[in-house]
Amino acid sequence: MAMGQVRAYRPATGFGFITPTHDCGDVYVQAADIQEAEHDLLPGEVVEYDPEVGADGQLKAVHVRAVYRA
């Protein structure tokens, strides 16, 4: 699992971005990939996730779980 910090998340649209601990550029995250379905990600929150290459060739976060809530 990788770790990172939520840079931005928009609950209304259900997506956002995570900045990985080992900064390799932001990783896209969708609401459907958050383990705690009732929890919206907050900017600054530390999360664990599995990085996966999406259909568009970009990294995305799956199996996202909050480690530390800001």
Q: In the prediction, which pLDDT does 68 show?
A: 79
Q: Which is it for the CA torsion 45, 3, 26, 37, positive or negative?
A: negative
DSSP, res 26: -
Which parts of the chain register pLDDT below 70?
23, 37-38, 70
Quick: pLDDT tens for 32-45.
Answer: 999 986 678 999 99
Q: What was the pLDDT predicted at 30?
A: 93
Q: What is the pTM of this model?
A: 0.88
Residue 57's domain comprises 2-68
CATH of the domain at 32: 2.40.50.140
The count of domains in the chain is: 1
